[in-house]
Structures are given as C-alpha cells and as structure tokens.
Amino acid sequence: MNKNGFSKSLTIATGLTLLIGAPASSHAESVSQEVMRAPTPVSPMPLLKADPLPDYFAGLDYTDEQKAEIARIRHNIDARRRAVEGDDRLTQDQKDAMILGYTRLENGEIFKVLTPVQRRQVRQRLEARREAGQPAQKKRRAETKPSQAN
C-alpha cells in the first residue's frame, strides 16, 4: 500500500515536471506572436481632461492645511493621469475609464480632507443636482421603454 502511494506521487511529480519543462508548441508561439503584433484600436474620442461632473468643492473656504493637502492629492492624481495618457498598451476606452476612476478617487480623497460642515455643503450640492436630474432621467426612461399597447 505504501509502495502504491509512492508510485502515484512519483507519477504526478513526473507529469508536473513535464508540463512545466515542456517547450511551448509552435502553434502557441505563433498565436502569441500574432496577438502581440496586433495593433490596439484607438477610439476617436479625446481623453477626459476635465472632471465630467460639476466641481462640488468650488467655493468652500479651506484652511491652509486643507489647501496643502488638496494640492498634494491633485498633484499625485495628475501624475497618474499623465502616466495613463502616455501608456501605449491601453486602448482609448481603457484610458478614459482609468482617468474617470482617478477623478473619482481624487474627489473621494478631497472629501476626506473636508470638515464636517464642508462635507454637509458638498452633500447638499450633490443632492440638489440629483433632484434636478431626476425629472430628466424619468423622461429618458419613459422614452426608452417599449410601448405596451393592448
């Protein structure tokens, strides 16, 4: 019984060694080279340079410490955006998505720097925008729903 368990272990180890050490087939190499040579499609849309949402932080009275921290946050996020813009491995859609993500990250980090009073002001601005956008959203939903004539 012990001998049988050893032979199973040896068989498995040998199989794994062959799989790991086996050279890739010529078909797999040619496919991977074709994939690597394929150009990435580029969308004609420009990069999202500005925040697509209104600046909810405008008009707030910041302390000097808040200003310094916000400047640091914006500098770090701008560096990340520039890195994404210069990355040739990404498609334009991927770049746009990452830049939008960095914008949201920036807004979240800035929100953490705010005082409770400033946070309430920003929340009120967001709520006002949502309420203003609800009738338009309902209208668009009604237009896109298929008519149900019986």
pLDDT at 132: 85
CA–CA gap between residue 51 and residue 110 (Å, rounded): 14
pLDDT in tens, 75-131: 999 999 999 999 999 999 999 999 999 999 999 999 999 999 999 999 999 898 888
- 148 pLDDT band, cuts 50/70/90, is low
Q: Which long-range contacts (CB under 8 A, 24 or more apart) does 107-113 make?
A: 107/51, 107/53, 107/56, 107/57, 109/73, 109/77, 110/57, 110/70, 110/73, 113/66, 113/69, 113/70, 113/73
- Which of residues 33 and 8 earns the better pLDDT score? 8
The length of the chain is: 150
pLDDT at 56: 83
Nearest partner of 124 among 66, 60, 40, judged by Cα:
60
pLDDT in tens, 15-62: 545 445 544 444 454 444 544 454 444 444 444 444 444 578 888 999
Across all residues in the chain, what is the average pLDDT? 74
pLDDT at 101: 94
pLDDT at 129: 86
